[in-house]
Amino acid sequence: MIRRSPEQRRDDVQRILDAARSVVERRAGLVSAFVESTGLHREGVEHALLHCLETSATERELDRLVATAGDAPHVHVILSANVFVAALRAIALARAAARRVTVRPSSRDPVFAEHLVRAIADPAIEIVPDALPRMDEGEIHVYGRDETIARVRASAPPGVVVRGHGAGMGVACISSGDIARAADNLADDVVPFDQRGCLSPRVAFVVGELIRARDFAEKMHASLAARQRTIPRGELSDVERAEARRYADTLSFSGVLHEGEGHKVGVASHLVVPPSGRHVHVVPVATMDALVASLALLERSIVAIGASDTTQLPSGLPPRARVSGLGVMQRPPLDGPVDQRSS
């Protein structure tokens, strides 16, 4: 078998980005289907398509993506439902690695992936109905819950490598600077996909006293309330609503809770991880050392760290987390998997 050159692989990925742009351009006719499929509000879908979907990448980013993608004769991609535009990066990574790509969209949220694959119009990429098609070699890239990944690993044929991208979350670190601005920027990271993505921040560590954390929480509450007016939250699942209720009661008991129409912000001296659905838990950390210690508790779960000032971040942070400023946590460069914990 003749191996494709890096340039060929990059061209194949570029074709996927072009297709994504065409989907965005045709979005007026597609948004309703995306709304129904994702459960997001119409504005949430628009926002994700316009601000989170990777429709372009620099040469350097593409080079890096191709370099990290590996090489396999066939990659089968199993998509999850949480972040509908994540299909693009998943398919791009698979295509960079393989001559043949099969895609099993989430049964709950198949629409975007189907439209994207149709728009790519690459005979090497096809949608398949089977969660696990017959394959003797190659890789399975599975996105979803840890239990799903474990199930796929258990049933994958011998000789097939399974790469799992499981549950995770983002955290925010608020050090010096204008906390109102930090809260506003963080709201931009919380809102996309109603916080269901593995980059979505759920906990904000505020360096300083409890009173500063409380101040930040109030501003976070105001910022999320403002976003609710422009990008209303979509429907939450029963499980999400139940977990949110439990978080609210736990925080009412043990801290301070701010509840808005489409969000909850809790602040307490102890760490609680809230569920997805636009809920942020704010916790003070006295020093940068305390911040590092707190992040270490969550290390296995942290996919992304957003910081009010990235230059002030201490060493010793979870090494594989993506680090960015606030407000851009949901827009990592297209240079490899979003979740780099397993890479």
Interface characters, 65-84, with other proteins (x: CB under 8 A): --------------------
Backbone angles phi and psi of 57, in degrees to 5:
-155, 150
Cβ proximity to other proteins: between 68 and 294 the closer is: 294
How far is residue 257 from each of residues 222, 245, 273, measured CA to CA in Å? 13, 11, 14
Cβ proximity to other proteins: between 277 and 337 the closer is: 277
Taking the complex as a whole, the smallest distance from the CB of residue 234 to other proteins amounts, in Å, to: 16
| Nearest in space to 94 (alpha carbons), one of 115, 57, 63, 68 | 68
Pairing of strands 279-285, 302-307: unpaired
- Report DSSP letters for 218-242, one per residue: HHHHHHHHHHHHHS---PPPHHHHH
Order of strands across the sheet that contains 263-267: 256-260, 263-267, 279-285, 201-207, 169-174, 302-307, 322-325
Report the alpha-carbon distance of residue 4 to residue 18 in Å, rounded. 20
CA 136 to chain centre: 31
> Which residues between 232 and 261 bind other proteins (CB under 8 A)?
238-239, 241-243, 245-247, 249-250, 252-254, 257
Cβ proximity to other proteins: between 161 and 272 the closer is: 272
Count of residues of this chain found to bind other proteins when the rule CB under 8 A is applied: 18
Among 105, 164, 197, 275, binds other proteins (CB under 8 A): 275
Tokens describing residue 187: 């709201």
Taking the complex as a whole, the smallest distance from the CB of residue 147 to other proteins amounts, in Å, to: 11
Cβ proximity to other proteins: between 107 and 254 the closer is: 254
Q: What's the one-letter identity of residue 99? A: R
Which listed range, 49-57, 134-142, 198-206, 266-274, lies at the site for other proteins (CB under 8 A)? 266-274
The answer to whether 270 and 283 have CB atoms below 8 angstroms apart is yes
Taking the complex as a whole, the smallest distance from the CB of residue 302 to other proteins amounts, in Å, to: 15
Taking the complex as a whole, the smallest distance from the CB of residue 257 to other proteins amounts, in Å, to: 7
Among 154, 270, 311, 315, binds other proteins (CB under 8 A): 270
Q: What's the one-letter identity of residue 65? A: L
Taking the complex as a whole, the smallest distance from the CB of residue 17 to other proteins amounts, in Å, to: 35
Among 53, 182, 268, 302, binds other proteins (CB under 8 A): 268
Which residues is 169 bridged to in the sheet?
Answer: 302
Cβ proximity to other proteins: between 237 and 310 the closer is: 237
Cβ proximity to other proteins: between 60 and 245 the closer is: 245
The answer to the question of residue 274 lying near other proteins (CB under 8 A) is no
Taking the complex as a whole, the smallest distance from the CB of residue 151 to other proteins amounts, in Å, to: 14
> Which residues between 138 and 197 bind other proteins (CB under 8 A)?
none
User: Which residue is associated with the tokens 């098609």?
Assistant: 133
Taking the complex as a whole, the smallest distance from the CB of residue 269 to other proteins amounts, in Å, to: 9
Backbone angles phi and psi of 90, in degrees to 5:
-65, -45
Taking the complex as a whole, the smallest distance from the CB of residue 150 to other proteins amounts, in Å, to: 12
The Cβ of residue 121 has, within 10 Å, a number of other Cβ atoms equal to 10
Taking the complex as a whole, the smallest distance from the CB of residue 274 to other proteins amounts, in Å, to: 11
Contacts of 142-148 with CB under 8 Å at 24 or more apart are 142/77, 142/78, 143/77, 143/78, 143/79, 143/80, 143/86, 143/90, 144/78, 144/79, 144/80, 144/106, 145/80, 148/78, 148/80
- Give the interface with other proteins as residue ranges (CB under 8 A): 238-239, 241-243, 245-247, 249-250, 252-254, 257, 268, 270, 272, 275
